[in-house]
């Protein structure tokens, strides 16, 4: 088979009833509970595909045909057999000879090597055909991979019920151990001095357990970023009070010294100062996840409960919440309106607006007057520089 | 011996002069300093008993009788010998045959196995007969276990002088190493590339080194909870700015994203927001440890220096300290007094009270007016829901 | 050779053209990138010398003479050979026999042992003759060691360009691994269940990877202190929101529960409360690094953007920034001026000063009036006690 024949064969299979275009797929290795090997605790994908490499998807599916499978459902989890590997590699042969390096082929070549050494009981081919609420741990992990790898946009995937699917486990040196097994063996392990050093207990692993950051990304403490977060190249995560939850993160180079709650997104060039909090959907907001624009600055220990547009500044130590009353002087209101046409200038010398009214507006500087205690909004100076770049 | 004879024998020993009812007991394995094997660095209890299983206590003490021991003192630390194990197991035999599973028997069965493989120099039977200031490391650990296991109430045990008894050590993969040994071997270890990765340096180990949390408890970073803390089932400890010190913790399911200082207690259903601080007895309070009631909410980056009753809310970013002056409007004062009979309504349109005056009161919402900078107390809306549940 | 002859020989070499007095020197073991063994990722010094033990410097340099070397440049990085070790030990012989224990001799004795087991390709003799911008990783590490060991004063060394020299790597159990190698082997490692548990990704290692703290120092979470920080004996670093960056730290016993940014220095007896932020040169200050004096107290979640003199207090939750307007009542101004002659008393009933005007002043208590929102400065009561100790 040459490459032209390969492509024709793939195309032909893609038109068959046995093929359905997946939104994501990949091959995973699973970790099992020691107290019950049928319980899957973690799925590690060697490589994940998200709306890409449909050729490989076709070859994988084709190679699974020896066993009946179901592509009607949103998820397909199939065991990986020697036969599957052999069949898929046979199809991929023209690519291997051609020297093109394709991750989905590399995965098979690695598996073929491993298959010579051990049984393949712990490997799964995983396909997602639709973005429904996940039903299996493998599907949850595939979605978290798509988010953390930056292939799927944050908040774009359906993760309803993921908490219920992921088991709560002890993480020891990067591996999940079931709490039940620890309990069953506690006395023996402790008396022998072999009780393991549990790093943490959670349903989610850490980002660095599954993702290799880019060369210009720094994560000074692995505990600070949950798997499922997106950390864009150039981001620095400091170890003080910072935290980035799953389905949250940064879109470009940025400095994170504060909390980026689940669902929160920080734009390129922004600085989340030491101890600053971006509130999440579960705490203190109206349930709408918060986005911070580009080149924004959240001062140390500030709190933001509203979305902020590009170039906003929140002074250190202040809390901008939806219900906060904020004074805007006339000339500042005019400047803010220039950037944000939806901002209504009342014409009063000082108008009082709510935090929610400023949600998402660009170039706003939030401050508390240190002599009157009044929270005030100004046109930020930061934004001016930014606009030159943007326009 | 059948079970009836067993129970009679135990009872008879319990009436003898060699028995004293312990408040806590257990068998521990100790870790020693490498530079001085006589220095004990840590005690790991296979199972601890706190005001329970006095039958096992009797059998343990009885089995120690071959060597003279002293039950007059508050603490008894006795070596564990093959003879002790054999003697105790002989008494326990009816239970073993009867199939009843008792942790204190499991401990002996494990020790009997270990005794076949190695000498038992590192094991200790530890009894506390009275809750005095601890004199030994083993006694301190037994008390910390009782607190962390949720068997003894927080703040209920005498830990005076514990800091002086616990050695400050390097913790490496869950094991204590004396700093002196590291110093003595620093040059060699570094040149060989074998200098160990020290996780932390402290007198206390971490909670997760000794305690297995319940299935619905999450501790996202082991460094955040010191041994001696109590983390009730259903608690989540986030990794941002959170910390729970020893002799502090939660009484029920709760969300901890802030600092729970030594002595501080958080009630069920409460949420300590990101970066929130509950001040400890050593910093900024009058020395009285702080309790937070049920269903309370400490907003992100708030600070609480007074106890808070059920259903209180502290807004994000504000500090409620004992000396703070807080304005209460007449109608709010009346509502607060309904819930808190000791609250004195002055009758003024706006009365000014001190933070200390509101200490422990239920259903109070603390806020700073964002237009005047005035700290104000209201009847919280949160509490209403809570009351429906409570009454 | 006896000791007198030894000293004469050393002195004579020190007068030769081959000697130059180093400001720092030592022997390091280097870690290499797996994907490119020529890339050095870390340098671990067995012992470092900073403006001390010039005798050993002379002997080391003398022993290097077999190969040409350059002492004109600010840095000399020379390979360590069997010949170098033999030559240096031969000179040191009188000291070894004399029983004097000198770390620089211990290093050679260890190396001599190691040389019998393996090649010495990974060892370097490193000399700094002038404090210029570092050109090599070894020079950066030697400077960071001098700072962290407390031998060179914080901020006293030229570290310009250090960030560009240090590679960004994955740190796994204390060892640096190049991200490139992880990428090249990701598929295989993941499929085999051997993907390493990456603790963090940074250009700098952690303080505890290279420094053994004193017996009365506690660092409750190793991730909280970057290598290059100085942690004076008696310091406690809590695990909540704390962080100490490189070229920053404490000068004496102190309590750190907040952020000590790069360049910031905390004096003896001071308490940086939970979540408190000392702003760094990169964020929110005018670029001047901030020093906190002795016996100062930064309350929980406070922010300090100005230097503070001895005995200052910043109340919980407030932000003292350079541009903040701060009210000082007449009698307080007079008290502040007594301690700080440069403070100008205006004579007004209440004078308004800027934060920057109070920079570095002693005995000032910063507070926000909880009824008016006005930021105010008082003469702190804390200072009085301090003065009794100081005078």
| pLDDT at residue C142, as a whole number | 98
- Residue A260 contacts residue A292 (beta carbons within 8 Å): no
B167 to chain C: closest CA residue: C215
Strand pairing category for A375-379 and A364-368? antiparallel
Per-domain boundaries in chain C: 3-165, 172-202, 207-390
More confident residue, C72 or C383: C72
* pLDDT tier at C385, thresholds 50, 70, 90: very low
Q: Strand, helix or coil at A71?
A: coil
A319 alpha carbon, distance to own chain's centre = 26
For the stretch C277-332, pLDDT in tens is 999 765 555 567 899 999 999 999 999 999 999 999 999 999 999 999 999 999 99
- For helices C82-98 and C103-115, give the axis angle rounded to 10 degrees: 130
Cβ-Cβ pairs closer than 8 A, A with B, add up to 165
Contact C46 B186 (CB under 8 A): yes
Cα B170 from Cα A244, distance rounded (Å): 29
Q: Once rounded to an integer, what is the mean pLDDT over residues B155-178?
A: 97
Task: Enter the pTM of the model.
Answer: 0.96
Q: Which CATH superfamily is domain C207-390 in?
A: Hexapeptide repeat proteins (2.160.10.10)
Contact C368 A373 (CB under 8 A): yes
| pLDDT at residue C189, as a whole number | 98
For the stretch B375-391, pLDDT in tens is 999 999 875 444 344 33
Distances (CA, A) of C59 to C14, C62, C78, C85: 9, 5, 14, 10
Distances (CA, A) of C80 to A161, B188, C60, C84, C95: 60, 16, 10, 6, 21
Cβ-Cβ pairs closer than 8 A, B with C, add up to 163
Vertex A286: Cα angle to A285 and A291 (nearest 5): 60
Q: For B305, what's the count of Cα atoms within 13 Å in the CB-facing half-sphere?
A: 25
Annotated catalytic residue: which of C257, C332, C335, C383? C257
Cα A271 from Cα A250, distance rounded (Å): 10
Cα A259 from Cα A283, distance rounded (Å): 12
Contact C318 A317 (CB under 8 A): yes
| pLDDT at residue A286, as a whole number | 59
Q: Is the pLDDT of residue C135 over 80?
A: yes
For the stretch A32-47, pLDDT in tens is 999 999 999 999 999 9
Which pair of tokens denotes residue A111?
A: 């598996």
Q: Once rounded to an integer, what is the mean pLDDT over residues A217-240?
A: 98
Q: Is the pLDDT of residue C148 over 90?
A: yes
Instruction: List all residues 6 or more positions away from C70 whose beta carbon is below 8 Å from its beta carbon.
Output: C76
B280 alpha carbon, distance to own chain's centre = 15
CB atoms within 10 A of CB B372: 16
For the question of residue C257 being annotated catalytic, the response is yes
Residue length, chain C?
391
| pLDDT at residue A383, as a whole number | 55
Cα distance between the two ends of chain B: 53
Contact B221 A223 (CB under 8 A): yes
Q: Once rounded to an integer, what is the mean pLDDT over residues C321-350?
A: 96
Q: Once rounded to an integer, what is the mean pLDDT over residues C196-217?
A: 98
Q: Is the pLDDT of residue B99 over 70?
A: no
**Location of structure tokens 């440069």:** C342
- The partner residue sitting opposite A239, judged by closest CB among C196, C224, C321, is C224
Residues on chain B touching A243 (C-beta within 8 angstroms): 238-241, 274
In percent, how much of chain A has pLDDT > 70?
Answer: 95
Residues on chain A touching B110 (C-beta within 8 angstroms): 187-188, 191-192
Instruction: List all residues 6 or more positions away from C156 whose beta carbon is below 8 Å from its beta carbon.
Output: none
Cα A342 from Cα C160, distance rounded (Å): 47
Which CATH topology does B3-152 take?
Alpha-Beta Plaits (3.30.70)
Q: Is the pLDDT of residue B283 over 70?
A: no
Cα C191 from Cα C175, distance rounded (Å): 23
Instruction: List all residues 6 or more positions away from C369 whose beta carbon is below 8 Å from its beta carbon.
Output: B373, C375, C376
- Residue B284 contacts residue C273 (beta carbons within 8 Å): yes
Instruction: List all residues 6 or more positions away from B117 whose beta carbon is below 8 Å from its beta carbon.
Output: none
CB atoms within 10 A of CB A348: 11
In percent, how much of chain B has pLDDT > 70?
Answer: 95
Distances (CA, A) of C113 to A223, A340, C80, C120, C125: 39, 72, 14, 11, 17
Element (H, E) at B96: helix B82-98
- The partner residue sitting opposite C222, judged by closest CB among B192, B198, B301, is B198
| pLDDT at residue B102, as a whole number | 92
Smallest Cα–Cα separation from C299: which of B277, B264, B354?
Answer: B277
Q: In CATH, what number does C3-165 get? A: 3.30.70.2010
Cα B205 from Cα B246, distance rounded (Å): 10
Among C206, C214, C240, most B C-beta atoms within 10 A, so best to mutate, is: C240
- Residue C294 contacts residue C317 (beta carbons within 8 Å): no
Cα C385 from Cα C253, distance rounded (Å): 17
How far B113 CA sits from the closest chain A CA (Å)?
Answer: 10
Q: Buried b / exposed e across A215-243, counting CB within 10 Å, b at 16+?
A: bebbbbbbbbbbbbbbbbebbbbbbbbbb
How far B174 CA sits from the closest chain C CA (Å)?
Answer: 13
Among A184, A191, A281, A353, most B C-beta atoms within 10 A, so best to mutate, is: A191
For the stretch B329-382, pLDDT in tens is 999 999 999 999 999 999 999 999 999 999 999 999 999 999 999 999 999 987
Residues on chain C touching B261 (C-beta within 8 angstroms): 274
| pLDDT at residue C281, as a whole number | 65
Contact A168 B216 (CB under 8 A): yes
- Residue A267 contacts residue A256 (beta carbons within 8 Å): no
In percent, how much of chain C has pLDDT > 70?
Answer: 95
For the stretch B210-263, pLDDT in tens is 999 999 999 999 999 999 999 999 999 999 999 999 999 999 999 999 999 999
Q: Strand, helix or coil at B147?
A: helix
Give me the sheet containing C259-260, strands edge to edge.
C243-244, C259-260, C277-278, C303-304, C319-320
Residues on chain A touching C325 (C-beta within 8 angstroms): 370-371
| pLDDT at residue C388, as a whole number | 43
Q: Write the DSSP string, A297-348.
A: EEPTT-EE-S-B-TT-EE-TT-EE-TT-EEEEEHHHHHHHHHH-TTPPP--S
Q: In degrees rounded to 5, what are phi and psi of residue C302?
A: -85, 165
For the stretch A119-170, pLDDT in tens is 999 999 999 999 999 999 999 999 999 999 999 999 999 999 999 999 999 9
For the stretch A269-293, pLDDT in tens is 999 999 999 997 655 555 678 999 9
- Chain A partners (3+ C-beta pairs within 8 A): B, C
Residues on chain A touching C192 (C-beta within 8 angstroms): 29, 110, 114
Q: Once rounded to an integer, what is the mean pLDDT over residues C141-148?
A: 98
C299 to chain B: closest CA residue: B284
| pLDDT at residue B71, as a whole number | 94
For the stretch A322-374, pLDDT in tens is 999 999 999 999 999 999 999 999 999 999 999 999 999 999 999 999 999 99
* pLDDT tier at A99, thresholds 50, 70, 90: low
Cα distance between the two ends of chain A: 53
Name the H helices within chain C.
3-14, 54-64, 82-98, 103-115, 137-148, 162-165, 179-191, 330-339, 381-390
- Average pLDDT value over all residues in chain B: 94
| pLDDT at residue B384, as a whole number | 47
| pLDDT at residue C355, as a whole number | 97
| pLDDT at residue A385, as a whole number | 47
Vertex B145: Cα angle to B142 and B150 (nearest 5): 135
Strand pairing category for B364-368 and B375-379? antiparallel
Residues on chain C touching B188 (C-beta within 8 angstroms): 110
Strand pairing category for B350-354 and B325-329? antiparallel
Residues on chain A touching C375 (C-beta within 8 angstroms): 370-371
- Average pLDDT value over all residues in chain C: 94
How far A156 CA sits from the closest chain B CA (Å)?
Answer: 24
In percent, how much of chain B has pLDDT > 90?
Answer: 90
- Residue C283 contacts residue A273 (beta carbons within 8 Å): yes
Q: Once rounded to an integer, what is the mean pLDDT over residues C222-246?
A: 98
- Residue C66 contacts residue C160 (beta carbons within 8 Å): no
Annotated catalytic residue: which of B75, B87, B138, B257? B257
- Average pLDDT value over all residues in chain A: 94
- The partner residue sitting opposite B191, judged by closest CB among C110, C175, C275, is C110
């Amino acid at each position: 088979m040459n490459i032209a024949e390969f492509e024709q064969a793939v195309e032909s299979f893609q038109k068959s009833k046995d093929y359905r275009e997946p939104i994501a797929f990949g091959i995973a290795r699973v970790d099992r509970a020691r107290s019950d090997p049928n319980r899957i605790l973690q799925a590690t994908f060697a490589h994940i595909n998200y709306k890409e490499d449909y050729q490989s998807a076709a070859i994988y599916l084709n190679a699974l045909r020896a066993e009946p499978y179901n592509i009607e459902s949103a998820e397909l989890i199939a065991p990986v057999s020697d036969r599957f590997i052999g069949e898929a590699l046979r199809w991929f042969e023209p690519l291997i000879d051609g020297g093109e390096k394709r991750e989905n082929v590399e995965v098979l070549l690695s598996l073929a090597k491993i298959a010579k050494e051990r049984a393949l009981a712990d490997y799964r081919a995983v396909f997602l055909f639709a973005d429904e609420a996940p039903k299996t741990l493998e599907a949850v992990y595939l979605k978290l991979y798509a988010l953390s790898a930056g292939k799927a946009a944050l908040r774009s995937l359906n993760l309803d019920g993921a908490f219920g699917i992921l088991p709560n486990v002890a993480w020891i040196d990067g591996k999940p151990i079931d709490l039940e097994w620890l309990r069953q063996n506690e006395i023996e392990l402790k008396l022998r001095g072999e009780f393991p050093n549990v790093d943490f207990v959670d349903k989610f692993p850490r980002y660095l357990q599954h993702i290799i950051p880019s060369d210009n990304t720094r994560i000074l403490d692995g505990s600070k970023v949950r798997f499922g977060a997106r950390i864009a190249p150039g981001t620095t995560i400091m170890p003080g009070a910072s935290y980035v939850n799953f389905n949250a993160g940064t879109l470009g180079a940025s400095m994170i010294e504060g909390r980026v709650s689940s669902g929160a997104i920080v734009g390129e060039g922004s600085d989340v100062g030491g101890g600053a909090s971006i509130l999440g959907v579960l705490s203190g907001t109206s349930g709408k996840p918060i986005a911070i624009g580009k080149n924004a600055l959240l001062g140390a220990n500030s709190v933001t409960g509203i979305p902020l547009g590009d170039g906003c500044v929140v002074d250190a130590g202040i809390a901008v919440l939806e219900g906060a009353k904020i004074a805007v002087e006339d000339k500042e209101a005019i400047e803010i309106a220039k950037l944000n046409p939806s901002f209504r200038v009342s014409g009063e010398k000082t108008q009082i607006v709510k935090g929610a009214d400023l949600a998402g507006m660009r170039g706003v500087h939030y401050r508390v007057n240190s002599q009157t205690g009044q929270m005030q909004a100004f046109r930020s100076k930061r934004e001016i520089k930014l606009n030159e770049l943007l326009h």
